[in-house]
Amino acid sequence: MTRARMLVGRYPVQEILHSVYQKADSPTCQLCCTDTETLEHLIASCPSLHHIRSRFVRRLQEIYTEEGWPAPETPAEITSATLNGAIFMLDSMVDNRHNQPELSDSHHPNDVNINHCIYVSQGVSITNVNTVANLLCHKLHLARELLLAKLEDE
């Protein structure tokens, strides 16, 4: 549920609370106080949540590497892989063609075969990516809420 809220822009990060709803004095992350709290910051770069994020991101990268796909490395790629799951995998596969022809249903070895993309989208790797992404979003949410509650108590 947390991942779905993030994906549709309904997760209450400071940037949204500040700019859209005027319910926050500042868009700055309350956990680290170093950057604007966007979804990308929350998912991929907030230092206060590194202990939660690191093992899940490492697992996402392992899944991509095992499949021969480029692993998400930058904060934008990690955020995209976390929120978009299977879509990011298929986009990575297509982007990794290195100037090969457009998607094709031919059997030319240099073409990305649509049938292969459909097969991959139904495979175990996609399920694993989505499971890891769901857990990452949920764990980040729980840790964030706990840390914010501690800050309020101080």
Q: CB-based contacts of 27: which residues, under 8 Å, 6+ apart?
A: 14, 15, 17, 18, 19, 36, 37
d(CA 107, CA 112): 9
d(CA 41, CA 53): 11
d(CA 24, CA 71): 35
pTM to 2 decimal places: 0.76
Residue located via tokens 């070895």: 109
Please give the pLDDT value at position 112.
Answer: 38
Compute φ and ψ for 18, nearest 5 degrees: -80, -55
Would you give per-residue pLDDT tens digits along the chain (154 residues)? 899 999 888 999 999 999 988 899 999 999 999 999 999 999 999 999 999 999 999 999 998 888 788 889 999 999 998 998 756 655 555 554 444 334 334 443 334 333 344 344 445 577 888 899 999 999 999 999 999 999 999 8
Please give the pLDDT value at position 86.
Answer: 59
Please give the pLDDT value at position 84.
Answer: 86
